[in-house]
Amino acid sequence: MAVRLQKLLEKVTDQEITVLAGREGLKNPIRWMHMVEGVEISTFLEGGEMAFVTGIALAGEEELTELDGPVHYAVVGGQIALLAANLPLERTTALLTQLLAFCRREMPDCPLYCGAGRATQSIRCVHKTYLLAQRVLKLQRKRGTAWTSAAYEDLNVYRLLMAVEDGELLREYVTAALGPLLACDETGGSGHIAFLTAWMECNGSIQRTAERLFLHRNTVEYHLKRIGTLLGRDLGDLDTRMELWLALKLLNLQ
């Protein structure tokens, strides 16, 4: 016969045990039990399990008693990590927007960057979505977009790139595509990567690039020719543009 949490609670009514959340799940069967010292259990729970936390690895009782609201938080390495439970993406985004607006009013001289991971229905994936949020946060910093929130679901091609876990493979791709430009930028401060990015974001338009960078059209054409020579590629070729555009996107994730 399956063991259910409701039955276990009825056996220990003389103990100081309080149900803080999840009452609707008390009748679910328990198929496995764990004994752990801290909160690391959240990285591998799959459901239908009970975890007894001894508390040895916890800083204090508040780390457990503060788990009774829809939004939980922790300070990790100078960052604030939020866990929104049972909140749709729209409400989570609104919450982050309000939080950023408040922080900007209270400390305008301290830029705050915000990234949201992927929504998940499994507690086992909380750790994974936290790592995704870290990558989104890194992208936000690289873009210099403080005081705005970026959600994983809204990142288009970046979602595909973030799914590639082989970091060495991605670095090799960037080096193969942009290596000569990166080398020139590092040694001479030529600004080739910034120029190429601006040109790509202007959809390859010489006129728009000139207006954006406050340059003469001839200067833009000279820079494009110089970049093409360094790379040994034809920038007018669609496949070349796609490869360079993808490498620039990957560069933002490094």
pLDDT of residue 68: 44
Question: For the chain, how far is it from start to end, CA to CA, in angstroms?
Answer: 52
Interacting residues of 56 by C-beta distance below 8 A, sequence separation 6+: 37, 38
Q: Which of 138, 144, 182 is nearest to 161 (CA)?
A: 138
Question: 32: which strand partners?
Answer: 49
Distance (Å, rounded) from C-alpha 68 to C-alpha 147? Answer: 28
CA–CA dist 196, 11 (Å, integer)? 69
pLDDT digits (tens, 9 = 90+) for 7-58: 878 877 777 777 766 677 788 788 777 776 665 555 556 667 777 766 665 5
Cβ atoms of residues 209 and 215 within 8 Å: yes
Contact 126, 43 (CB under 8 A): yes
What is the structure's pLDDT at 220? 96
Contact 126, 42 (CB under 8 A): yes
Q: Which segments within the chain are labelled E, that is strand? A: 3-4, 29-30, 32-36, 49-53, 71-76, 79-84, 114-116, 149-151
Q: Are 87 and 69 in contact (CB under 8 A)?
A: no
* Residue pLDDT, tens place only, 185-243: 999 888 999 999 999 999 999 999 999 999 999 999 999 999 999 999 999 999 999 99
- Domains of the chain by residue range: 3-64, 71-162, 167-253
Neighbour-count burial of 244, counting CB atoms closer than 10 A to its CB (0-12 exposed, 13-18 middle, 19+ buried): buried
Name the residue with higher pLDDT: 128 or 251.
Answer: 251
Nearest to 21 by CA among 64, 80, 53: 64
* Cα Rg of the chain, angstroms: 25
Q: What is the pLDDT of residues 138-155, one digit of tens each?
A: 899 888 899 888 888 888
CATH 1.10.10.2840 fits 167-253, yes or no: yes
For the entire predicted model, the pTM comes to 0.62
